[in-house]
Amino acid sequence: MAEVKEKKKTYKGELIENKVIVWGTTEANEVYDLGCFGKIKDDDRNELSLEEALLLINRNRLVVYKKRRKMDKKKFYEYACSIDREFPWKYRVYEDLRNRGLLVRTGFKFGTHFRVYARGVKLKKGPKTRREHTKWIVHAVPEDFTCSFPELARAVRLAHNIRAKMLWAVVDDEGDVTYYEIIRKTP
């Protein structure tokens, strides 16, 4: 007997500036439960980052509308690039980390692109166990990126202060990602 594959549900999102909103308590929670995507707000909506939305679009789990018009992948990508010049390499790193089974959240409050948690972690409210803390902070850059030593030192010190490892994710012209861990050594 042939196996019957269950069709996966596709959700609708509304593009508003630099976020994609999934409205409705049930849908908002279901999208979150796909793998901790987005951030559930008090008014029954889930706010997805552009990176999260594009990944769900590519996985055929999300259709995005802008002013009631459906956006295809290409238009969405072009829009994201137009409002965030770092989007191409940020998305490539986000996609790579998610494909590795890691939980990825924004690193904005730490001055970096992403906070990354160990495989299998589910975020919850309240006190966190040691395993639930950020494992890495990741900054995505193109291969021709340059920075100063003080900028590099600040990033490493920040990671050290939150007991995380600092990774620089370098995206080459072919879209391959190489991760470099930068550590602080004291004599």
**Higher per-residue confidence, 64 vs 159:** 64
**Higher per-residue confidence, 111 vs 31:** 31
* CA–CA dist 93, 32 (Å, integer): 20
Cβ atoms of residues 34 and 62 within 8 Å: no
Cβ atoms of residues 172 and 178 within 8 Å: yes
Do 65 and 136 share a structural domain? Answer: no
Average pLDDT, the chain: 90
Please give the C-alpha separations between residue 106 and each of 21, 49, 115, in angstroms, as whole numbers. 16, 8, 6
Which structural domain range is residue 64 located in?
11-83
- Rg of the chain taking only CA atoms, in angstroms: 18
**Which of 49, 64, 83 is the last residue in one of the domains?**
83
Domain count of the chain?
2
Q: What is the DSSP letter of 133?
A: S
* CA–CA dist 184, 165 (Å, integer): 10
pTM: 0.89
**Which of 26, 59, 83 is the last residue in one of the domains?**
83
Question: What tokens appear for 83 in the block?
Answer: 């409002």
pLDDT (0 to 100) of residue 91: 98
Do 157 and 98 share a structural domain? Answer: yes
Q: To which H or E segment does residue 169 belong? A: strand 165-171
Is residue 187 a part of any domain in this protein? Answer: no
Evaluate if residue 42 carries a pLDDT over 90.
no
Sheet holding 114-117, edge to edge: 103-106, 114-117, 136-142, 165-171, 177-182
Confidence of residue 154 (pLDDT cuts 50, 70, 90): confident
pLDDT (0 to 100) of residue 123: 66
Q: Which amino acid is at 14?
A: E
Confidence of residue 163 (pLDDT cuts 50, 70, 90): confident
Do 68 and 32 share a structural domain? Answer: yes
